[in-house]
């Protein structure tokens, strides 16, 4: 068992007492940091950076050198699984991720195989092992994956989309094909996250970026059911500790009760949901992570502090809250504003833990 010097994040996820509210940021290793941009340039392209364990470790640790964060999150991408399935992931400047071989038929989906995690995705596990070694117990390491529905949207659309027409066409016109795709992806995510845990990840998070584009009925079937299968299949104890799992559905505030019923330890909440309401609805079952609008970081440090104070007051007294943005930090944010955000949480939150 690795002795953690700072286990505030894990304690909060377990709803155990903490001295202050822990904080980390989604996309905390990324383009808003000049040192990240330098390493990205050195790597040549995004996926080359992801596939180099030493460089992935370097960018994972960069925000921790700047800021007193309470967790590190593996630097990788949610689309590594589809890439390992042979869909040929690439990135175009200004356009985001694209796949050279999208899947849009039952025949194409039937050919997909669950990847071998140490072969096809061994570079991710190498990064996890390298980061754990370099962290040396300073803070816990979070592993992650995209949700099956979110991965499916990119795989069927062939990249980013605004109307989700291709993936919804498949879901509604060929439900058996979509069910098979989601099942294969759920099995892959189970293997992927369990491999990350075996390599040293001390908590895991499932990013359901696009569950919020579904109707309530379709969310239950296409997004939540596969995530339930994943929660059921995860390794929940390793290295002498419980391994907590957090589910995050962007724009999913209306489904918090159903998400909490999966057995997850925590739910991510975006800024469209009031944190006090979320706590009243599910705070007895799960910890909550969130939920400041990332765009607040464009504001003055004073305005940022006011927002932090509002969110802390909204959650109220006691443990079970991990402070975070409601989604990823924007690339144009001034790192000093991120620092003001983290500082405000550290200064103002102890009053809620006495």
Q: How far apart are CA 103 and CA 239, in angstroms?
A: 38
Per the annotation, binding residues for substrate are: 27-31, 77, 154, 209, 327
Cα torsion angle, 152, 228, 256, 291, sign: negative
Q: Where do the domains of the chain lie, and which CATH numbers do they carry? A: 30-291 (3.20.20.210)
Q: How far apart are CA 56 and CA 53, in angstroms?
A: 5
Spacing of C-alpha 332 from chain mean position: 20
Tokens of 48: 């080359």
Per the annotation, binding residues are: 27-31, 77, 154, 209, 327
Spacing of C-alpha 67 from chain mean position: 19
Tokens of 128: 């996890």
Q: How far apart are CA 307 and CA 313, in angstroms?
A: 10
- Beta strand 96-99 with 89-92 is antiparallel
Q: How far apart are CA 97 and CA 191, in angstroms?
A: 23
Cβ neighbours of residue 227 closer than 8 Å, sequence gap 6 or more: 147, 148, 186, 206, 208, 247, 259, 262
Could you say which DSSP state residue 333 is in? S
Spacing of C-alpha 272 from chain mean position: 18
| Active-site residue list | 27, 31, 40, 77, 154
User: What are residue 249's DSSP bridge partners?
Assistant: 208
> How does pLDDT run along the chain (354 residues), one tens digit per residue?
568 999 999 999 999 999 999 999 999 999 999 999 999 999 988 999 999 999 999 999 999 999 999 999 999 999 999 999 999 998 877 778 999 999 999 999 999 999 999 999 999 999 999 999 999 999 999 999 999 999 999 999 999 999 999 999 999 999 999 999 999 999 999 999 999 999 999 999 999 999 999 999 999 999 999 999 999 999 999 989 999 999 999 999 999 999 999 999 999 999 999 999 999 999 999 999 999 999 999 999 999 999 999 999 999 999 999 999 999 999 999 999 999 999 999 999 999 999
DSSP-H helix ranges across 158-253: 165-173, 175-199, 216-218, 225-233
Per the CB < 8 A criterion, the answer to whether 24 and 8 are in contact is no
Tokens of 80: 């590594």
pTM over 0.95? The answer is yes
């Amino acid at each position: 068992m690795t002795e953690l010097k700072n286990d505030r994040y894990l304690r909060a996820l377990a709803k155990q007492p903490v001295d202050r509210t822990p904080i980390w940021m989604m996309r905390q290793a990324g383009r808003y940091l000049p040192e990240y941009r330098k390493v990205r340039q050195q790597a040549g392209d995004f996926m080359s950076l992801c596939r180099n364990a030493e460089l992935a470790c370097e960018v994972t640790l960069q925000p921790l050198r700047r800021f007193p964060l309470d967790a590190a999150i593996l630097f990788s991408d949610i689309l590594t699984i589809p890439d390992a399935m042979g869909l040929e992931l690439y990135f175009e400047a200004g356009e985001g991720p694209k796949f050279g071989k999208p899947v849009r038929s039952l025949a194409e989906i039937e050919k997909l195989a669950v990847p071998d995690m140490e072969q096809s995705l061994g570079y991710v596990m190498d990064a996890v092992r390298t980061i754990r070694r370099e962290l040396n117990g300073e803070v816990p390491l979070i592993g992650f994956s995209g949700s099956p529905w979110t991965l499916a949207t990119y795989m069927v659309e062939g990249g980013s989309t605004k109307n989700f027409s291709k993936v919804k066409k498949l879901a509604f016109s060929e439900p058996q094909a979509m069910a098979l795709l989601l099942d294969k992806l759920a099995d892959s995510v189970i293997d992927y996250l369990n491999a990350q845990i075996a390599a040293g990840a001390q908590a895991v998070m499932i990013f359901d970026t696009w569950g919020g584009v579904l109707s309530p009925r379709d969310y239950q079937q296409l997004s939540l059911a596969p995530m339930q299968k994943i929660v059921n299949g995860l390794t929940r104890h390793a290295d002498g500790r419980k391994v907590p799992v957090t589910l995050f559905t962007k724009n999913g505030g209306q489904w918090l009760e159903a998400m909490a019923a999966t057995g997850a330890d925590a739910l991510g909440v975006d800024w469209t949901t009031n944190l006090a309401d979320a706590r009243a609805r599910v705070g007895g079952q799960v910890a909550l992570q969130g939920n400041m609008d990332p765009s607040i970081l464009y504001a003055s440090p004073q305005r940022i502090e006011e927002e932090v104070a509002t969110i802390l007051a909204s959650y109220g007294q006691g443990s079970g809250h991990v402070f975070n943005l409601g989604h990823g930090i924007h690339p144009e944010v001034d790192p000093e504003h991120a620092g003001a955000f983290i500082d405000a949480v550290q200064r103002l939150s102890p009053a809620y833990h006495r």
